[in-house]
Structure 1
């Protein structure tokens, strides 16, 4: 799907087409003039005299200056049209040539995703564009790249050296990359993966286990402390290995490069955590925790007013319960929330939310890492939503212990849609304003009804349709309907006129007098009659041709059958003659008995009639010939067996392939073709299920023989299971 340079082919084609358009030339000319004006105002002679930061600043200002001009708008339209066309052509080509399993919409999304990822990989500074994923779970590939970009520390040189140092340690002395409590970390990771309900998707994966243990062991070794690693750190490592799980083998440890990348991401995340998440017990962290709890309490009182009352009742001592409830003590509520929320926020919801919901929450956290205050606001919102959605369960609890147990057991049942609804209803505007307050994104949130250039609205068209109001669209629709009604009425009147003229012509007899105005109708009738006759002739010729072809096929089949029967008869006669030549030539037993009786009986006396001489019958002379050599019993046996085996083979061929030209053979061919297409779909689906993607053309041939054998065995096992399932369903349906 992607080209050798790392970009999809449709994106490279779009770039080439855009660079050759006049709109691109006009845009470059205006951009050059804007930059030149800034150089003149800044008293700089050449653009090359500027530093890289100054060049970027000048380019940004020049682009902003011409952003609302005609050249920019013209280029925007052209880029949209060309990207639309090239993407559509690439998707159509794959549908025709490779017969993919997915629909056209799925392919469009996949190709567009590959293009966006290739651009983000080339220009990582554009990661702020990912803010458009606010309140949306990221696709798998986008999530992998986004987390990697946002968790790359600003001290890039240091972390690149650390990653290289980690790999060098593994190659030189692996013990230096292992914690002194490596065995305890090993046991804890195994226990979490096997017992935690929310980790069930990765249970049994040896690769994930080794990756998680290696990251945590190295992290603890870098801390250079004799204290054991906290349980919450084990929980926080889980989302990272989960996102990298498709790149980690299940049956063997991951590569050092994968572990090094996980080490970089995990260490960067640990450094960027807010103080109330670290919660080390220091005064600073306690102050941040109090501020966070205050924010959660205010959100609950504003959007879920019943939940604070329930929590306050469960955490207030019994003797002060009535007083505290009547007074509505805010301090009591904050104390109860602190006890309830502390384990939830320290683990960043790991173990409290199911996997897909957890990754959705972490996606929003990642895209706000570069925005001050966003992550504190987001974590408070998520915490308040969890507590607010579980209020019905909290009502059933009578103690604070039951409240904490309900939070642990019921939170995994919450879905992404519930969070999206609450965020969209109450918090989306504020969160979006926080992301956009620094002007990071030059692209507005596109409203399909208000956008100046709606994205992908011109699919298959060269021109972008202008935006019209609903009233104008309704008026245009009514005018089109009126025009269609007028044309229909006109055609009906013409048909009535033609019918009346035809009836008048028939009533007048053979003599027809051309009236004024009927010449056009007559010519139309003549033309229609000629077309009807020509169509009838073509149809008759087609039928005769089909009949002759059928007769020819029947005659050919009869001749083949006759020739086959004659050949079989010849073979049978040859075998009989061969068997007769083998038998000994001796007179039959009745002949011997009759000759013996004739010798012992006395002949009767002659009669008068027997006295006359009767001429003996003429002796028939046969020409002398060479006797046929007798075949041996072995040769006779071979001849008979060959004939027997040939007949069995012919019968099997007729059973397996049916008679030539029969309806059974056509049905068998259709079934066979269907099985072939099903095999192609099964192979591509097996590649997606087992390896997360489809192999590129020629990629399988470049693999090592052992790797080819292993992947073929895995795919065939999965395909065989699908075949058995389909067979069981067919039998059940019958």
Structure 2
């Protein structure tokens, strides 16, 4: 194999890239590509390419490349790349033949190196998986098959910070039991029986890794469904192809790694969610309709391509040879009934146990690479069914009954080879299938700038006339006209719907009158409507009057509250002035201050002393002089006042909590509860130490438990908890017995 480069690419591919970069054709193409992008920037009124977002940059690049596609520089570059790739690959294979002396032929080495290059490109750019459409009607090589299935079945339709794979791994690390089904033992038995008894799965028989991988995926799938029903038997078959593809990653004598199982879980769960209804076939009405529609499609294709097979099936499923319906409609009905019986088991299992492993994986390869193309999977499965029935037409003719025919299909289907199906597909269906796969890739590039909405996609931009520049007001006017037109059409629809309902009501009244039912006349209806309207107006008026009265009452209460607050503030101000033996200053506030101003003044003013609340006569002048000579009482600073307020508030909170918890004057009960709680804490510590001695044989030192493996930590913790719970229940039983005896 080629030596890998520093970026994970084979060396010959890196050499080819370097040769392309150094070529003249590449530089010419780059210049034209730059000119195409620059013209887009000019027409979109963007100054620099770096001003665009990443999505806009990618779109501009795609449109510029599409414009150059088919031109001289583009064709010359493609020819150059093809020549350099062939040359680099041939040189690498020649080097291997000379230096490494491999056992493979030159053709095998070319295929291996090309496969390695394709794998490296797909791993780097997963979005290029659509390029695998060129492998239609071909079985994929095993390494490419693993990567292709992984890319198409990766769970990318949700937030993939939480993908199925990550979710499963996190579940194994946190709660492994949640990833195991309640019927895990039954699932294990069925997996073992299937692997040991089914002839088409003989290659998987005897491998411990395959068995455990299959069982783990199915067990998690069933547990994720959160249902009490057992797992369907067909689900055991659908996981088989994933095990076959991952067989090279499975150990033979031990269970597989968690990484491999997580990948299998992600692929299987994504596949199960994206199954068509006629494959899931749960028995619901919707699925039954899909099955019938699919069988009709198969019957049509079989009638058009292989009428002899149709005749054989009709003969086997007719009630009797004397009662065979000769009409075309009757034959079609019998054909659909027979196909329903034959095809349903094959569809549910997607041909598992009906085809040999190589043919089965070939069918699944083509099914999976078309998952992203709407309608492809239905078309492909119908073609495979029709081809199987066509290839076994001779055996169908020899079958003596419908039951024998069903068993024969399972036996003879395993003899069908890949080239046989490839030939039939190539002869009759390949062109339509390939055009279906590549239809989306040929779609026009979407238009980014709104000024270009009326122009076709980029085609030969150098021959097109530059679109005229439209002003913002013109675009706004056009947008308003479009909105007005949409509103007019919506109003027309609403009017038509109203007229339709009125006509239906008139027709209903007419029919009721014909049967003698007395209906109110239009005049009676109008009078009733007027009465109801008058009652509604009266109710609204009463509610309005009531609300106005409530507003007036609220306004009166607020005025009284403010007046009371103002008088209280004035009284407190006089008391403070009397305490300081000073003449009260002139009021500097309004006679009716607001409640907020009252609260702020009370917080800033120091609390009055008890002496100031007593009424005392004004002291004589000589006493005032003596009072002035005395040292004044220190006033608290704002910080001290704030701290005191917070302290009082916290004390009141603590008092409230104690009162709620222990009721009023229940100090003894609180002390008893504290003592009981302390006793439980001490007993719990003793239980932990005793449990450590029972489980570990000794009391653990600090930090010693954290050094154990996570699995041992969980097991030991559960054992200790069980012992502590047992001791706690025994003590509780003794206490109850003692209380009972005392009673």
Bin for the TM-score computed over the shorter chain: 0.5 to 0.7
Separation of aligned partners in 2, 1:180 and 1:11? 51
- Within 5 Å, which residues of 2 pair with 1:695-710? none
Q: CA deviation at 1:116?
A: 0.9
For residue 68 of structure 1, the aligned residue among 51, 67, 70 is 70
Is the Cα–Cα contact under 8 Å of residues 355 and 414 in structure 2 kept in the other structure?
yes
Separation of aligned partners in 1, 2:127 and 2:166? 23
> Which residue does the alignment assign to 1:421?
423
- Within 5 Å, which residues of 2 pair with 1:221-240? 221-240=223-242
Q: CA deviation at 1:322?
A: 2.7
> Which residue does the alignment assign to 2:112?
110
Separation of aligned partners in 2, 1:421 and 1:228? 41
> Which residue does the alignment assign to 1:137?
139
SS of aligned partner of 2:239: helix
- Per-residue deviation, residues 40-62 of structure 1 (Å, max 9, x unmatched): 11112221222222211111110
Tell me whether 1:406 sits opposite 2:408 in the alignment: yes
Q: CA deviation at 1:24?
A: 1.6
Separation of aligned partners in 1, 2:329 and 2:276? 33
Is the Cα–Cα contact under 8 Å of residues 171 and 179 in structure 2 kept in the other structure?
yes
Tell me whether 1:390 sits opposite 2:387 in the alignment: no
> Which residue does the alignment assign to 1:301?
303
Q: CA deviation at 1:165?
A: 2.5
- Within 5 Å, which residues of 2 pair with 1:329-728? 329-439=331-441
Separation of aligned partners in 1, 2:154 and 2:328? 51
> Which residue does the alignment assign to 1:126?
128
Give the direction of change, closer, same or farther, for the CA distance of 1:327–1:72 in structure 2 (3 Å limit): closer
Separation of aligned partners in 1, 2:260 and 2:159? 19
> Which residue does the alignment assign to 1:674?
none
Is the Cα–Cα contact under 8 Å of residues 8 and 120 in structure 2 kept in the other structure?
yes
Q: CA deviation at 1:211?
A: 0.6
- Per-residue deviation, residues 585-629 of structure 1 (Å, max 9, x unmatched): xxxxxxxxxxxxxxxxxxxxxxxxxxxxxxxxxxxxxxxxxxxxx
- Per-residue deviation, residues 418-441 of structure 1 (Å, max 9, x unmatched): 101111111111111211222359
Q: CA deviation at 1:327?
A: 6.2
Structure 2: which 5+ residue stretches go unaligned? 445-743
Separation of aligned partners in 1, 2:259 and 2:183? 23
Give the direction of change, closer, same or farther, for the CA distance of 1:159–1:355 in structure 2 (3 Å limit): farther
Separation of aligned partners in 2, 1:6 and 1:228? 46
> Which residue does the alignment assign to 2:205?
203
Separation of aligned partners in 1, 2:371 and 2:118? 21
For residue 28 of structure 1, the aligned residue among 27, 30, 47 is 30
Is the Cα–Cα contact under 8 Å of residues 212 and 237 in structure 1 kept in the other structure?
yes
SS of aligned partner of 1:402: helix
Is the Cα–Cα contact under 8 Å of residues 159 and 264 in structure 1 kept in the other structure?
no
> Which residue does the alignment assign to 2:98?
96
Q: CA deviation at 1:390?
A: 0.9
> Which residue does the alignment assign to 2:60?
58
> Which residue does the alignment assign to 2:19?
17
- Per-residue deviation, residues 297-354 of structure 1 (Å, max 9, x unmatched): 1111111101122222222222873335786431221111101111011100001000
Separation of aligned partners in 2, 1:160 and 1:149? 17
TM-score normalised to structure 1 length? 0.59
Give the direction of change, closer, same or farther, for the CA distance of 1:168–1:409 in structure 2 (3 Å limit): same
- Per-residue deviation, residues 394-426 of structure 1 (Å, max 9, x unmatched): 111121111111111111001111101111111
SS of aligned partner of 2:102: coil
> Which residue does the alignment assign to 1:47?
49
> Which residue does the alignment assign to 1:539?
none
- Within 5 Å, which residues of 2 pair with 1:269-308? 269-308=271-310
Q: CA deviation at 1:76?
A: 1.7
- Per-residue deviation, residues 164-221 of structure 1 (Å, max 9, x unmatched): 2312322333211111110111011111111111111111111111111111111111
> Which residue does the alignment assign to 1:692?
none
Separation of aligned partners in 2, 1:319 and 1:246? 52
Q: CA deviation at 1:233?
A: 0.5
Q: CA deviation at 1:21?
A: 2.1
SS of aligned partner of 2:324: helix
- Per-residue deviation, residues 450-483 of structure 1 (Å, max 9, x unmatched): xxxxxxxxxxxxxxxxxxxxxxxxxxxxxxxxxx
Structure 1: which 5+ residue stretches go unaligned? 443-734
Q: CA deviation at 1:262?
A: 0.6
Separation of aligned partners in 1, 2:162 and 2:371? 20
SS of aligned partner of 2:316: helix
Is the Cα–Cα contact under 8 Å of residues 318 and 324 in structure 2 kept in the other structure?
no
Q: CA deviation at 1:159?
A: 7.3
Tell me whether 1:241 sits opposite 2:249 in the alignment: no
Separation of aligned partners in 2, 1:159 and 1:342? 38
Q: CA deviation at 1:89?
A: 1.9
Is the Cα–Cα contact under 8 Å of residues 235 and 350 in structure 1 kept in the other structure?
yes
Is the Cα–Cα contact under 8 Å of residues 155 and 164 in structure 2 kept in the other structure?
no
> Which residue does the alignment assign to 1:192?
194
Separation of aligned partners in 2, 1:326 and 1:59? 57
Q: CA deviation at 1:110?
A: 0.7
Is the Cα–Cα contact under 8 Å of residues 35 and 62 in structure 1 kept in the other structure?
yes
Separation of aligned partners in 1, 2:333 and 2:52? 58
Is the Cα–Cα contact under 8 Å of residues 313 and 321 in structure 1 kept in the other structure?
no
The alignment yields a C-alpha RMSD, in angstroms, of 1.7
Separation of aligned partners in 2, 1:422 and 1:5? 42
Is the Cα–Cα contact under 8 Å of residues 312 and 325 in structure 1 kept in the other structure?
no
Q: Name which of structure 1's ranges 203-212 and 146-155 shifts more when overlaid on structure 2.
A: 146-155
Give the direction of change, closer, same or farther, for the CA distance of 1:234–1:386 in structure 2 (3 Å limit): same
TM-score normalised to structure 2 length? 0.58
> Which residue does the alignment assign to 2:713?
none
> Which residue does the alignment assign to 1:85?
87
**Count of residue pairs the alignment pairs up:** 442
SS of aligned partner of 1:413: coil
Give the direction of change, closer, same or farther, for the CA distance of 1:294–1:175 in structure 2 (3 Å limit): same
Is the Cα–Cα contact under 8 Å of residues 25 and 80 in structure 2 kept in the other structure?
yes
Is the Cα–Cα contact under 8 Å of residues 276 and 288 in structure 1 kept in the other structure?
yes
> Which residue does the alignment assign to 1:163?
165
Q: CA deviation at 1:29?
A: 1.0
Give the direction of change, closer, same or farther, for the CA distance of 1:162–1:363 in structure 2 (3 Å limit): closer
> Which residue does the alignment assign to 1:605?
none
SS of aligned partner of 1:244: helix
Structure with more contact order per residue of length (Cα contacts < 8 Å, sep ≥ 6): 1
Separation of aligned partners in 2, 1:60 and 1:34? 11
SS of aligned partner of 2:372: coil
Q: CA deviation at 1:160?
A: 4.9
Separation of aligned partners in 1, 2:100 and 2:415? 41
> Which residue does the alignment assign to 2:252?
250
> Which residue does the alignment assign to 2:450?
none
